[in-house]
Structure 1
């Protein structure tokens, strides 16, 4: 089940890779209609090119591969593995909240309830059945570092890849 974290992540992030680049531009009319109070500059800052999405996803993939390897080498007892597992599972709720807030599809929302949440639940049950104790500090850290880790991956991607090419609201 420890390598399953990497497999579940790969399925989920394949959806994100296929849909994240350019999503804000494609969804902007809907976003403007449902969230008119959000300033245009916010939508501009949230724009991600396909290259940026690929880099950010690749960076997070390295983190998840490392976590899965640590989990495999410790029988699931690694704090890093447990933190990654809880962060991965918790972020399914974020995907669902984004879709509700924007009233439509958001990258990753299909596989969040179909892959992310069920895998995480299953993995925790398997760990418990194997006698692996959940490290509450690790799980708290995993939840706390989820957003900063994703933000860091995207920040690095923005530095390494060109900005999206379409201008504010041009493709819609």
Structure 2
């Protein structure tokens, strides 16, 4: 068994940063611009629920960055053997495939699709090869299933938290502020 390099474990965080920089720069504006076209393509979808402010995107990506940093640290500490690290690595790679499918389904650019085929998927394939060469895993197998299952939960969770953290709170008028 050989040692897994930090390029594999911390590389997950690096690949995520490159990928999410694209999403950070494009997501909020894309949602606003693409909504009319998406409503025509898929009229049954409640597209108004997908509206994102730039603040919400910023917070969601920041929260996900914390998750990815923690997972990468766990991967580094365990030499890539952590089931959590392996599941997130598998989920990250599958996430790249989802980006390609989203772009195909929407018939155009979607945030993240530019870096999915050149960063996300190649890094994930490379990292799995390194884990196998080091004798850490045989194949993504169960980790891939766990990563795919956890992906919508984690992404949904960070977006829900970002929504709660960035929503505008209406200030109730105090009694002495009212005009009588």
TM-score by length of 2: 0.84
> Equivalent of 2:127, from 123, 127, 137?
123
Considering Cα pairs closer than 8 Å and 6+ residues apart, tell me whether 1 or 2 has the greater RCO: 1
Match of 2:101 in 1: 97
Q: 1:156 and 2:161 equivalent?
A: yes
Which of structures 1 and 2 has the bigger CA Rg? 2
The C-alpha deviation readout for 1:16-62, integer Å capped at 9, x for no partner, is 00011132211123213332x235xx111001110000111111111
Count residues in correspondence.
160
Structure 2 unaligned residues grouped into runs of 5+: 1-7, 169-180
Where does 1:3-18 land on structure 2 (aligned, <5 Å)? Answer: 3-18=10-25
Where does 1:61-76 land on structure 2 (aligned, <5 Å)? Answer: 61-76=65-80
Q: 1:106 and 2:113 equivalent?
A: no
> Equivalent of 1:51, from 40, 49, 55?
55
User: 1:97 deviation in Å?
Assistant: 1.1
Match of 1:132 in 2: 136
Structure 1 unaligned residues grouped into runs of 5+: 164-172
What's the Cα RMSD here?
1.5
Distance, in Å, in 1 between the alignment partners of 2:143 and 2:106 is 32
Distance, in Å, in 1 between the alignment partners of 2:37 and 2:141 is 40
Distance, in Å, in 1 between the alignment partners of 2:41 and 2:53 is 23
User: Secondary structure of the residue that 1:65 maps to in structure 2?
Assistant: helix
Q: In the superposition, relative to structure 1, how do residues 50 and 85 fare at CA in structure 2: closer, same or farther (>3 Å)?
A: same
Contact (CA 8 Å) 1:84, 1:142: kept in 2 or not? Answer: yes
User: Secondary structure of the residue that 2:28 maps to in structure 1?
Assistant: coil
Contact (CA 8 Å) 1:23, 1:47: kept in 2 or not? Answer: no
Distance, in Å, in 2 between the alignment partners of 1:46 and 1:139 is 27
User: 1:136 deviation in Å?
Assistant: 4.2
Runs of 4+ aligned structure 1 residues displaced above 6 Å come to: none
